[in-house]
């Protein structure tokens, strides 16, 4: 059975530093990035290991260093030999204390799952200042010997089980092209690439490895609106089977901290219009406590309410299905009481790394005879943000919301079968290639449920808009 990253690196400790710290290629790239940083920059080392060579080089140049690692032993060693702030933390749930000038993630993305790699690219971008620098150290899939591994077509990567430092591990590989695409999709412009062969200094681990270092500079203001580049125009109106959608929503799950995130946004609001039933789905019956909530399950061309009726409108996962985005948002603004200090519009759509959207876009949409184009949640929110600014709601902010679809069937095969039946029925009912869609969904769904048993990640983005003068 494969060894997880925390167990592996706790056991390796200083042996890892002895094997990998003396890498001329890595030091060259690190020095290049350090030369590009403003004075007294804040720099995060993700998967910092023992702190050498990356964190040590950054600290020596006079910058403020933060380091995280899943292995307590690594954090302890790093803190003992490099000035900085080092924490035991999982990159997937960590939030840095300040915006960073640079983020390094050197050889720390091998053992997380493909959807998490996609997610981390956007998280790295969110953690950076406006023109911050991201540095990744990876190995391209071309480095795999003898074609070992299984290709995952949804995430365009290779999953492989290998022996590394005498231990069986799961590793993830993307091609050189796929890595560059991930940078661009998350809003980075490539500044430098360096690929070289490296043989570790460990006497028991001497095989040659291909190391690929990529330096990208953040070039967009809103990474969560990706993937970039944005399409030139919105696709045509999509359709959704509402009864199948409600069955899927019956499996929606939020952790308490995510529930509180949304609840706090509505604190102080008394008259709320809930379009799409998101408030009910996210917060349950508690959403109506001490509030007047009006719920519309689907969008209307003309909202059946007088002007200035509500102090908040929340719209969840329906922008794909409105006839005209501008007209719909004008209606939403019409029913807002602009004299209220709490007046706001909240739009929630899928994040660019949403697993369900990824499955639909890569597996089902190409098989659809009604294909109106790949759904692009970021473009919907980008367009909505622009329209809202034009009509007075220009105070906007974006934040992620982590939800999942949880399935308690008594076996992984039952969960997989349930999802294979359910998902195409939501967006592609009655399609000629409906059965083919289900067959082709089986493998990627099985892999996702292996990555995180019992649920599919359903990552979302919240766009909050308030009046310009608030």
Q: pLDDT at position 286, please?
A: 56
- The candidate with the shortest Cα–Cα distance to 73, out of 170, 3, 8, 159, is 8
Q: Take residue 60 and report the two structure tokens written for it.
A: 């020596």
- The candidate with the shortest Cα–Cα distance to 329, out of 319, 339, 337, is 319
Q: pLDDT at position 287, please?
A: 53
Q: What is the 3-state secondary structure (H, E, C) of the chain?
A: CCCCHHHHHHHHCHHHHHHHCCCHHHHHHHHHHHHHCCCCCEEEEECCCCCCCHHHHHHHCCCEEEEEECCHHHHHHHHHHCCCEEEECCCCCCCCCCCEEEEEEECCCCCCCHHHHHHHHHHHHHHEEEEEEEEEEECEHHHCHHHCCEEECCCCEEEEEEEECCEEEEEEEECHHHHHHHHHHCCEEEEEEEEEEEECCCCCCCCEEEEEEEEEEECCCCHHHCCCCCCCCCCCCCCCCHHHHHHHHCCEECCHHHHHHHHHHCCCCCEEEEECCHHHHHHHHHHHCCCEEEEECCCCCCCCCCCCCECEEEEECCHHHCCCHHHHHHHHHHCECCCCCCCEEEEEEECCCCHHHHHHHHHHHHHCCCCCCCCCHHHHHHHHHHHHHHCCCCEEEEEEECCEEECCCCCHHHHHHHHHHHHHHHHCCCCCCHHHHHHHHHHHHHHHHHHCCCEEECCEEEEEEECCCC
Q: 62 near 35, Cβ under 8 Å? A: no
Q: pLDDT tens, position by position, for the chain (470 residues)?
A: 678 889 989 998 899 989 898 899 999 999 999 999 999 999 999 999 999 999 999 999 999 999 999 999 999 999 999 999 999 999 999 999 999 999 999 999 999 999 999 999 999 999 999 999 999 999 999 888 665 788 998 999 999 988 888 888 989 999 999 999 999 999 999 999 999 999 999 889 888 899 999 999 999 999 999 999 999 887 777 889 999 999 999 999 999 999 988 888 888 888 999 999 998 889 876 555 556 899 998 888 899 999 999 999 999 999 999 999 999 999 999 999 999 989 999 999 999 999 999 999 999 999 998 766 567 999 999 999 999 999 999 999 999 999 999 988 667 788 899 999 999 999 999 899 999 999 999 999 999 998 998 899 999 999 999 998 76
Q: 170 near 159, Cβ under 8 Å? A: yes
CA distance 312 to 337: 8
CA distance 386 to 381: 9
State pTM to two decimals: 0.94
């Amino acid at each position: 059975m494969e060894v997880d990253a925390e167990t592996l690196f706790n056991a390796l400790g200083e042996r890892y530093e002895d094997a990998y710290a003396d890498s001329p290629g890595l030091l060259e790239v690190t020095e290049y990035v350090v030369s590009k940083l403003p004075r007294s920059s804040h720099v995060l080392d993700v998967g910092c290991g023992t702190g050498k060579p990356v964190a040590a080089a950054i600290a020596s140049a006079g910058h403020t260093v933060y380091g995280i690692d899943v292995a307590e032993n690594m954090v302890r060693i790093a803190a003992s030999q490099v000035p900085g702030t080092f924490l035991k933390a999982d990159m997937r749930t960590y939030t840095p204390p300040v915006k960073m000038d640079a983020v390094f993630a050197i050889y720390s993305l091998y053992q997380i799952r493909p959807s998490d790699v996609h997610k981390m690219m956007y998280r790295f971008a969110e953690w950076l200042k406006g023109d911050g620098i991201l540095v990744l150290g990876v190995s391209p899939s071309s480095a795999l010997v003898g074609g070992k591994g299984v290709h995952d077509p949804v995430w365009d990567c290779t999953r492989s089980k290998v022996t590394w430092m005498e231990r069986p591990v799961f590793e993830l590989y993307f091609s050189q092209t796929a890595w560059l695409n991930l940078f661009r999709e998350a809003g980075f412009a490539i500044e430098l690439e360096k690929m070289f062969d490296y043989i570790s200094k460990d006497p028991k681990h001497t095989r040659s490895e291909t190391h690929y270092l990529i330096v990208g500079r953040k070039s967009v203001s809103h990474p969560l609106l990706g993937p970039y580049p944005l399409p030139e125009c919105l696709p045509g109106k999509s359709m959704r089977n509402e009864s199948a959608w409600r069955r899927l929503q019956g499996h929606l799950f939020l952790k308490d901290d995510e529930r509180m995130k949304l609840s706090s946004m509505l604190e102080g609001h008394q008259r709320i219009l809930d379009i799409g039933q998101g408030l009910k789905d996210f917060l349950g019956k508690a959403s109506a406590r001490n509030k007047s909530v009006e719920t519309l399950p689907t969008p209307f061309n003309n909202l059946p309410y007088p002007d200035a009726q509500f102090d908040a409108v929340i719209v969840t996962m329906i922008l794909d299905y409105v006839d005209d985005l501008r007209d719909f948002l004008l209606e939403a603004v019409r029913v807002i009481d602009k004299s209220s200090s709490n007046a706001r519009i909240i739009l929630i759509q899928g994040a660019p790394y949403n697993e369900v959207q990824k499955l639909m876009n890569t597996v089902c949409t190409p098989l659809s005879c009604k294909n109106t184009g790949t759904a692009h949640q970021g473009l919907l929110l980008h367009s909505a943000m622009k329209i809202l600014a034009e009509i007075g709601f220009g105070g906007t902010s974006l934040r992620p919301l982590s939800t999942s679809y949880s399935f308690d069937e008594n076996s992984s095969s039952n969960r997989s079968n349930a999802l294979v039946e359910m998902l195409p029925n939501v967006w592609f009912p009655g399609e000629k290639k409906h059965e083919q869609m289900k067959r082709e969904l089986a493998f990627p769904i099985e892999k996702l449920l292996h990555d995180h048993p019992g649920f599919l990640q359903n990552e979302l983005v919240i766009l909050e808009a308030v009046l310009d003068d608030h």
